[in-house]
Amino acid sequence: MKNYKYLVVNGCSQTSGQMCPVSETWAVKLAKRLGLELINLASAGTGWYKVETSTMSFINNNKDILDECFFILQKSELARRVNYEELATNKTDIWEKWNIKYMSHTDLQFQGYIDFEKYGFSKPMHHRLDDVNQEFQLYDELGDFLETSKLGFFPEHKHYPNSRHFWKLGENNDIDPPYIQEQFEELMLHWGLRISSFHLLLKNMGIDHIIVDGYSPFMSYKLNFRNYYDTDEEFDWVKRFWSTETDDPTDEMVYDFKNIKCAWIFDMIPLEYKIDDVVLWSLYQFKVHGTDWNADGGHAGPKGMDIIEEVIYKNLVEKNWF
């Protein structure tokens, strides 16, 4: 077992601690319990691409202390995917002095060029993204399906009986979106590849880490949740919330986390490197909202953070990391 000095965490609001005093967040409490210095790279509203890139940036710039770091990486929602506007795909001469020859779509609208004429433009390029980046289709059919208000958001979890899901189509919200099974399977395949590949990269680099779900079951797609709850009634609510069964016999789940065809990819991540029996959000979701348990329905208050910290600590000990 390594002699760690730093706890490095990354994720979305579940890890950054939105709606909760910093000193009361699970990361701060866990670092204190473990006697480690906390490095929190998490930001609210972000997804796995942000986790990958910011974690790798930290690794690339702190190679001398990596043996002293333990990483906890939290997966967020599947709709929080890559934003092509923020990939460095556009030629630029703004940062050539530093051997940077490409900038992102977003950067370009503010930076433009130094010598715009060599790129074939008759006047400086500012706020003319369509002219510069026509080769990238930013909003394809699936992107529209995932993010536009017209079609609603891709289903993340079972908030209500399916007949009331706001992602159903039609004037009466009674039509299943076409190809949703195939779309869901492809999305899970994509995230399985991203997560398992990043895990393998970290493992091969000798970087100790563990991955945990924040808002949706990825590591825990089998829905084999453990009873971490104060009462059996709370645990029953959790199992019912994620269940594929409904109260209405005429209704059925459009997709099923348990039956995804790409499950084997998630299974390639050893249990030592993942927490697969909990979704952090579920630990406090069924507590009273607007309290220290559950700040607003989507974020834990101080007491909710206590639950998260205890669950993660318990898993770290059981998996012999500490």
Predicted confidence (pLDDT) per residue in 113-127, tens digit:
777 777 666 666 554
Lowest mean pLDDT among 25-29, 53-57, 186-190, 226-230: 186-190
Share of the chain above pLDDT 70, in %: 69
Q: DSSP state, 294?
A: B
The DSSP annotation for 185-202 comes to HHHHHHHHHHHHHHHHHH
Sorted by sequence, the CB contacts under 8 Å of residue 207 that are 6+ apart come out as: 59, 66, 69, 71
The pTM of this model reads: 0.78
Mean pLDDT, range 250-278, rounded to an integer: 83
Q: What is the pLDDT of residue 254?
A: 57
Please write the tens of the pLDDT for every residue from 182-214: 667 777 888 899 999 999 999 999 999 999 999
Pairing relation of β-strands 102-104 and 88-91?
Answer: antiparallel
Distance CA 43, CA 16 (A): 6
Task: Return the structure tokens found at 269.
Answer: 């991540």
Q: How far is CA 222 from the centre of its chain?
A: 18
Q: What is the pLDDT of residue 128?
A: 43
Compute CA distances 58 → 81, 194, 266, whole Å.
21, 18, 25
pLDDT at 291 over 80: yes
Residues of the chain with CATH 3.40.50.1110: 6-79+181-318
Class of domain 6-79+181-318: alpha beta
